[in-house]
Structure 1
Amino acid sequence: MELNNNGISSNVENEDRLSILIDDLLLSILGRVDITTTVKTSVLSMRWKHLPWFLRELTIDVKDFLLVLQPNPIEDEHMDKAMSSLSKAIRSFLATPRSEGAITRLQLKIYLISNYAFDIGPLVSEAIDTGILKDLDLAILDETEILDCTDERMLQRAGVVGDFFSDYPSIFHCLTRLSLYNLCFAKWDINYHLFDCCQQLQHLYLSNCDAGRYRVWKIDAPDSKLSILQLNFCVLGRLEIVCLPKLERLEWDTWLCPHAPLSFGFVPSLKELYLICAITRDVQGFVLSEVLRDTASIHTMKLDFQGEKLWMQPEGKQPCTAFNMLRKLSVHGIFVEFNLLWMRVLLEAAPFLEMFDIEIWEHPCLINDSKQSFGERTNPLWKVPEITSRKNSFMKGLQITGFKPLKQQIEFIRAVMHQAPNLATIVLKYDDPCEDCEKMGIFPPRSSTECVFPKNKDERDMVVKLLMGGVSSRAQIIFYN
């Protein structure tokens, strides 16, 4: 096939519009679809036949090989068939000689079931040893629901994963991201494997993993390159990060520790912290500033209480230097009945805060069901500081999602306006109720003038009047629904 100066065939009568594009553009298109679609294009068109093997970045996800309509949970038979197809795909891409350079990144999502480890392990290891594969993002999936996972099963799964890495140690050499599900590391030295052996590991995601239920997990890894650590429902007695010099972001969604779930030692690069949890009735909570006292570079923080009581205890009078670098603070999952003035304590502690993002939680469909596990919701018993002359001149934006013109919300916004004289925008957002809440109607009952988000001009003008009355502020109030 002749190519013209633009790299496009001069004989295009029998070509479709996509096929006449140059290879680089076609590869860019293939890089945006799943691997099964990529392979299908190579079968259907001679023009596209060679292209999948020129891709430098690959995503091979076992779920792309499952049937479109799947039962929930996914049955073992379907997982087995999907893994069989995935193994063939890996063999096709990794065992075939590549004349156009290495695979710069492979995102691989698998089930370690049956004997597929013995199919996949050697192929990936050889690709790494021969220089074909440079960067591996590996997820070892499990479809078992968290509540159905027994300690014995989590130990057994950890053994399978540990054996996989022990049998194919080359995988550690280019592993930059790892995701693991439903594992207990009580009999597997996770610190040695993930922080000593995986010298390139930058991103670690653990879901329902622990070191033995309620046991402390201590991380002391001065040579680790780990920059992102994400935990989801990991039942640890405590997470102690003694040393992780490259850690930039920590996310922890749901813990069951009665007191502070984590502590920090040497984390000079930590910039983002996300703590999300609906605490049970047995959890006492903790003072956030005490947990953060050895940090000094956090600029983005999200605290999410998921509609239950606060897991933060009242802050003391002494300022905490951990908040000095804070630029964006998100406080989500605040029960709609709670007062909000306690959050002024956080504003006092963060003198350079620029953006304050709040989300109000109101789900009547869950009100009664959650009481048994989480206990009664009680207003935060924080001593609210008196309005002082101390101002935050850096704060430019305030956003409240789930806004309703209730007294506690109006009072809080006015307090922020007083404290932030340079506030430029106040965004008040509507939050769609879930389907179950819509079936129940409005809860708790309120008068018609104060229970709904203001949608017409008259209602919005009334809110603006309530907010601006007696307050000197140039902030623009924006309603978004």
Structure 2
Amino acid sequence: MEMELSLSGGEVAGEAKRSSSDGAEEEEEEEEEADRISALPDDILLQFLRRLDSSAACRTSVLSKRWRRVWKLLPELRFTSDTDLHRVRAAIATHDADLHHLGVEALDAAPESVAACLRVAAPRLSGALFFGNREPGRNAGDDVEEQQESGAIELPCFDRATFLLLRLWFLGLVLPAAGVFARLTTLFLDGVSFHGPCDLGDAVSSPRSPRLQELTVRGARGLLNLAIHSESLTRVVLRALLGLRQLTVVAPALRQLIFEGGRCAHRELVANISAPQLEKLSWDHECCVPSGEMTHLQTLSTACLHVYSELPTHNLAVVRLLEQIRSTATLYMRLWYPPDIGNSQYLMEEILVLPRFTALSLMIISNGHTFGASVFHLLKMCIGLKELKLLVLLPDMEDEELEEIQPACPSGCICDEPSNWKTEEFTLNCLQKVEINGMRGVDHEVTFLKRLLNWATILETMSITCDHFISEDKAKEFRQILSSFSRAETRIEFT
């Protein structure tokens, strides 16, 4: 009995005491282990935090006093759209180090919340800002004309930022009337409605953006007059600027200008470009031709040429641009055939002259029509052509539809006229390389390739990639037909 009491009173109590002691030792060991992590240098802890979403990194401040300050030293912060913008603003406001990168995603954000975030970020940012706002159920590529404006924000002057990208989903934007974007090299604005007394041209010109090299504005409203005077800009991209009437660019260092007006820019747009070093010009406006000398062009891309149209002046701007540009190394053109030509007028004969160039890239949206006549008309003017690329596209349909619908000319279609391309002889005596994509092996394609091989007297290689819907048997037959009339000195490659 004594032994039992002793066991119950002494041994068991002692066991409980040892158990309590062991537990305390384990807690001490855990604390020591935690202390060893917290005792690591800041740069090691920051490596851990960089692997976390910034919201999670901020929450490590609850671990200890040490952790409370470490996340504030992160040089980069990235917040996803599930983070409330009020918390984003608070995190930026309490951050201690210079921010080399700030990324914020928002979902249907209120203008005042966006403005508050940008105000606290401006004095702390010494690198790149990526701010993206989007509306649920819509995509970034949706039509600018269909978007509804939802309030305006005031943009502070980011005097130390080097890169600014704002996707605002047609929040209004008021540009700062004062201040210098002293270090800014790249500005990207997408889905912006411009407001206020300060216009974009003033903000991006040299007095206020002395180091700006790249400017992109896409899907914008409120830019009726855009005048840019910059000594530093080398690349300008302007896409879908709704209602733009006047464009002036004075940029002696500019190398690339891309303008895609689509249905957005005003039909009576006037454009004056002074860019003596311009090398690449892509100009897509059916009515406006930019004025100014462009003597160093290496690449020219034009608006789409309508091969047939009921509107006789449809290609007027493209024709004028081709007459204005004297020379370029590479010319990019698009030819478009309407699905139903009907009584439309053939417009290719309005093109009487092309710039001097050595490489031609043609995209042909044929809608199943014969394209030999239109391409032949262009090739006759291609003196000195060395390289030719053709891309033949089917209509914009879903893959399932294309498997069932192979577009073809309706009965009595006039797309094969004028038919002199089948008999007239001329020589492409400099053409050495041809690349063709999208062939389906139909009769008019075979006829065109046979004529092309006859015109190109010194052709070295012809590379043909068939459309992926063509059957193996049809592709094999196509290869055999071409091999039957190709020259021995011309290497034909099929893929």
TM range (shorter): 0.5 to 0.7
- 2:395 pairs with one of 362, 383, 390: 362
* Distance in 1 separating the partners of 2:479 and 2:204: 64
Once the two structures are TM-superposed, the CA of residue 267 in structure 1 deviates from its matched residue by 0.9
Q: For residues 191-230 of structure 1, what are the alpha-carbon distances to aligned partners after superposition, in whole Å with 9 as ceiling and x for unaligned?
A: 2xx2x26853631313143444xxxx46473646362222
Structure 1 position 232 matched with structure 2 position 268: no
SS, match of residue 313 in structure 2: coil
Partner of 2:215: 177
Structure 1 position 314 matched with structure 2 position 329: no
CA distance 1:297–1:38, change in 2 (3 Å): farther
Structure 1 position 79 matched with structure 2 position 109: yes
Partner of 2:106: 65
Q: Which letter maps to 2:454?
A: H
CA distance 1:248–1:390, change in 2 (3 Å): same
Q: Describe how 1:251-330 pairs up with structure 2 within 5 A.
A: 251-253=282-284, 255=285, 257=287, 261-262=288-289, 264-277=291-304, 281-282=310-311, 284-286=313-315, 290-308=320-338, 313-315=347-349, 320=354, 322=355, 324-330=356-362
Q: For residues 141-194 of structure 1, what are the alpha-carbon distances to aligned partners after superposition, in whole Å with 9 as ceiling and x for unaligned?
A: 24xxxxxxxxxxxxxx554484577699875434431305343544x4x22xx2
Partner of 2:481: 466
Q: Describe how 1:136-215 pairs up with structure 2 within 5 A.
A: 136-142=186-192, 157-160=193-196, 162=198, 171-175=208-212, 176-183=214-221, 185-186=223-224, 188=225, 190-191=226-227, 194=228, 196=229, 200=233, 202-212=235-245
Partner of 1:404: 440
SS, match of residue 409 in structure 1: helix
TM-score of the aligned structures, taking structure 2 as reference length: 0.60
CA distance 1:178–1:319, change in 2 (3 Å): closer
Q: For residues 44-71 of structure 1, what are the alpha-carbon distances to aligned partners after superposition, in whole Å with 9 as ceiling and x for unaligned?
A: 677875231789974756xx322xxxxx
CA distance 1:293–1:345, change in 2 (3 Å): same
Give the fraction of aligned pairs with identical amino acids, expressed as a percent: 9
Greater share of strand residues, 1 or 2? 2
Compare relative contact order (CA 8 Å, sep 6+) and give the higher one, 1 or 2: 1
* Distance in 2 separating the partners of 1:274 and 1:329: 9
* Distance in 2 separating the partners of 1:295 and 1:341: 24
Structure 1 position 428 matched with structure 2 position 465: yes
Contact 1:430 1:453 in 2 (8 A): yes
- Which blocks of at least 5 consecutive residues in structure 2 are unaligned? 1-35, 61-66, 78-96, 135-148, 163-178, 403-411
CA distance 1:80–1:283, change in 2 (3 Å): farther
- 1:345 pairs with one of 377, 380, 384: 377
Once the two structures are TM-superposed, the CA of residue 478 in structure 1 deviates from its matched residue by 1.4
* Distance in 2 separating the partners of 1:377 and 1:180: 39
Partner of 1:248: 279
* Distance in 2 separating the partners of 1:430 and 1:311: 29
Give the number of equivalent residue pairs: 374
Contact 2:372 2:448 in 1 (8 A): yes
Q: For residues 105-138 of structure 1, what are the alpha-carbon distances to aligned partners after superposition, in whole Å with 9 as ceiling and x for unaligned?
A: 5566679964521xx324x247586887332313
SS, match of residue 323 in structure 2: coil
Once the two structures are TM-superposed, the CA of residue 86 in structure 1 deviates from its matched residue by 7.4
CA distance 1:399–1:138, change in 2 (3 Å): same
* Distance in 1 separating the partners of 2:221 and 2:351: 42
* Distance in 2 separating the partners of 1:232 and 1:318: 25
Once the two structures are TM-superposed, the CA of residue 359 in structure 1 deviates from its matched residue by 1.7
Contact 1:296 1:325 in 2 (8 A): no
- 1:134 pairs with one of 163, 170, 184: 184
Contact 2:441 2:474 in 1 (8 A): no
Partner of 2:75: 51
Partner of 1:331: 363
* Distance in 2 separating the partners of 1:252 and 1:353: 24
Moved more, 164-173 or 391-400: 164-173
Cα root mean square deviation, aligned: 4.7
Partner of 2:123: 95
* Distance in 2 separating the partners of 1:377 and 1:43: 68
SS, match of residue 116 in structure 1: strand
Once the two structures are TM-superposed, the CA of residue 414 in structure 1 deviates from its matched residue by 1.7
TM-score of the aligned structures, taking structure 1 as reference length: 0.61
Once the two structures are TM-superposed, the CA of residue 95 in structure 1 deviates from its matched residue by 2.1
Once the two structures are TM-superposed, the CA of residue 262 in structure 1 deviates from its matched residue by 2.0
CA distance 1:247–1:130, change in 2 (3 Å): closer
Partner of 1:146: none
Q: For residues 268-323 of structure 1, what are the alpha-carbon distances to aligned partners after superposition, in whole Å with 9 as ceiling and x for unaligned?
A: 23232333448674353337565323324423333234552699833579764x1x
Q: Which letter maps to 2:450?
A: R
Structure 1 position 121 matched with structure 2 position 137: no
* Distance in 2 separating the partners of 1:239 and 1:311: 28
Contact 2:281 2:301 in 1 (8 A): yes
* Distance in 2 separating the partners of 1:454 and 1:286: 37
Partner of 1:453: 470
Larger radius of gyration: 2
* Distance in 2 separating the partners of 1:86 and 1:39: 20
* Distance in 2 separating the partners of 1:293 and 1:277: 16
Q: Which letter maps to 2:471?
A: P
Contact 1:307 1:362 in 2 (8 A): no
- Which blocks of at least 5 consecutive residues in structure 1 are unaligned? 1-12, 31-36, 67-77, 143-156, 368-375, 432-451
Contact 2:279 2:297 in 1 (8 A): yes
Partner of 2:451: 415
Q: Describe how 1:363-378 pairs up with structure 2 within 5 A.
A: none
Moved more, 293-302 or 157-166: 157-166
SS, match of residue 357 in structure 2: coil
* Distance in 2 separating the partners of 1:222 and 1:319: 29
Contact 1:285 1:311 in 2 (8 A): no
Moved more, 241-250 or 218-227: 218-227
Once the two structures are TM-superposed, the CA of residue 140 in structure 1 deviates from its matched residue by 4.6
SS, match of residue 239 in structure 2: strand
CA distance 1:250–1:92, change in 2 (3 Å): same
CA distance 1:399–1:211, change in 2 (3 Å): same
